[in-house]
Amino acid sequence: MTAATRALPFPRRSLRGWMQAADVRWAYVALLVALLPLFGQSFHYVKLLKPAWALSKAFPLLSLPLCLILFAGRRPEGSRQMVVTILWLVLVPTFISLFTFQQTFFIALASQLKLLPLLYIFSLLGLLRWLRPTLREIDAAFLICAVVTFVLLLAIWRLAPQSAYAEHYVAGDSPLLSADARGNRIRMPMYFGLIGILYAWRRFTARWQPRWFAAWGAGFAMVFGLVRMRTFVLGVTLMAAINGFLAAGPRLRLLMLALIPFALAALFSVPFMASIFSTDKAFAFDVRYISTMKAIGFLGTDPFRWIFGVGTISPIDPAGLMTYFNHFFFLGDITWMGIIFEYGIIGALLIAAVPLRGVLLMDSARRLHDTPFLAALRDYLVYSLLISEMLPMTLAPGEITSIMAIALYARELPAAGGRRR
């Protein structure tokens, strides 16, 4: 430490020392902070922010030229699988829906635009190969996005008046602020926030430091109390239990096994979590049940429909599938049954294979760089599989493929994790 540094006031000195110790190029981090939310589909369903929402919808095509950078290097592992998956899921249901729902080709093709973020495995990898950031810089960008997510969540909670919480809204719409049977809810995009929670838990189980448990607890409490989405709460709880059990010693594992019944009882004693098992109309059980029965009935006994699916109706159609089913019929609500309805069993297997391939790629990357950040990204892939019965993977596939791109890029970095020049 120089004499000039010692002369600095303590807060300024500590900030400067932290930035120097971080060993990152902050201009690169700032660029990643600006772009990663688009790759992570953070604004994809936030219609309140129309410019960001429109940009998110168009970003798969706007970022497509970045894929050209990949031609200058070696072919990414798994690229053949992803190309086949994208072509099958986009084209096969499109052609089938021409006959099932009597649509024109281009209108039918519009219904598969939701799958275009699968291309982020190529475009984000192209961006990373072009910028050549270190893993530490990618880590810093993700954690900054996570912190910003929770700061915004707290700010909205503190500043939004009760009148801003929508009590009545159109079926299929998801306002940012809503008040329903679960109470006041803030439907924040939580991709980076959840990765931040998983990261804090990985840091905690690495050395069992209380400060990381406090960070995990603070993030979990905000998701539990403010977002109040059962899928998030249950998924994060499962990942904490799994990773905690794997990291614990034999005695602690026995203690954890003994505490599991009490933890489950405490979790599901909360009314909005207990509603997972509720058949009350307020929690849309009847909508999901009727939709499932109608989907099964429409597929019928024709094996072709079960194997290849029947496609769907383009969102351009204002009535959508309700034209055929005379019911609030949303395939996303019935998760895997909805995926089989639209893409068939073959399509469902192709979709499930994407995060599974991501786990294998991340395991390979972690053999070179065993960092808590890569471990947290792997946890998110496992998390997406665990919650897929409640939240379909087709809703935001860019979340998964962005992580796969980072795994592929990490495999190309030197084992020491040094900066590529």
Q: What is the 3-state secondary structure (H, E, C) of the chain?
A: CCHHHHCCCHHHHHHHHHHHHHCCCHHHHHHHHHHHHHHCCCCCCCCCCHHHHHHHHHHHHHCHHHHHHHHHCCCCCCHHHHHHHHHHHHHHHHHHHHHHCCCCHHHHHHCCHHHHHHHHHHHHHHHHHHHCCCHHHHHHHHHHHHHHHHHHHHHHHHHCCHHHCECCCCCCCCCCEEEECCEEEECCCCHHHHHHHHHHHHHHHHHCCHHHHHHHHHHHHHHHHHHCCHHHHHHHHHHHHHHHHHHCCHHHHHHHHHHHHHHHHHHHCCHHHHHHHCCCHHHCHHHHHHHHHHHHHHHCCCHHHHHHCCCCCCCCCCCCCHHHHCCCCCHHHHHHHHHHHHHHHHHHHHHHHHHHHHHHHHHHHHHHCCCHHHHHHHHHHHHHHHCCCCCCCCCCHHHHHHHHHHHHHHHHCCCCCCCCC
Predicted structure pTM score: 0.90
- Residue the block writes with tokens 């989405």: 229
Cβ of 387: how many Cβ atoms within 10 Å? 20
| Alpha-carbon gap, residue 18 to 332, rounded angstroms | 44
Can you give the pLDDT at residue 19? 53
Tokens describing residue 295: 């989907």
Closest C-alpha to 40, from 401, 407, 408: 401
The angle formed by the CA atoms of residues 241, 364 and 418, to the nearest 5 degrees, is 105
What are the backbone angles phi and psi of residue 179, rounded to the nearest 5°? -130, 115
Instruction: Show pLDDT as tens, one digit a residue, over the chain (421 residues).
Output: 444 444 334 344 444 554 555 678 999 999 999 999 999 999 998 888 889 999 999 999 999 999 999 988 888 998 999 999 999 999 999 999 888 887 778 878 888 888 999 999 999 999 999 999 999 999 999 999 999 999 999 999 999 998 888 877 665 567 888 887 778 889 889 999 999 999 999 999 998 899 999 999 999 999 999 998 989 999 999 999 999 999 988 888 888 888 888 888 888 888 777 777 665 655 566 678 888 888 898 898 899 999 999 888 766 665 566 667 766 677 778 889 989 999 999 999 999 999 999 999 999 999 999 999 999 999 999 999 999 988 889 999 999 999 999 999 999 988 754 444 3
Can you give the pLDDT at residue 263? 84
| Alpha-carbon gap, residue 128 to 32, rounded angstroms | 9
Q: From residue 417, give the alpha-carbon distance in Å to each of 152, 195, 317, 367.
A: 32, 21, 50, 12
Given a contact cutoff of 8 angstroms between Cβ atoms, the answer to whether 369 and 411 are in contact is no
Tokens describing residue 271: 């009314």
What are the backbone angles phi and psi of residue 335, rounded to the nearest 5°? 40, -115
| Alpha-carbon gap, residue 371 to 281, rounded angstroms | 45
Given a contact cutoff of 8 angstroms between Cβ atoms, the answer to whether 366 and 396 are in contact is no
Pairing of strands 183-186, 177-180: antiparallel
pLDDT one-digit tens code per residue, 107-156:
788 888 889 999 999 999 999 999 999 999 999 999 999 999 999 999 99
Q: Letter for the amino acid at 42? A: S
What are the backbone angles phi and psi of residue 14, rounded to the nearest 5°? -65, -40
| Alpha-carbon gap, residue 278 to 267, rounded angstroms | 15
pLDDT one-digit tens code per residue, 162-179:
888 887 766 556 788 888
Tokens describing residue 251: 């005695």
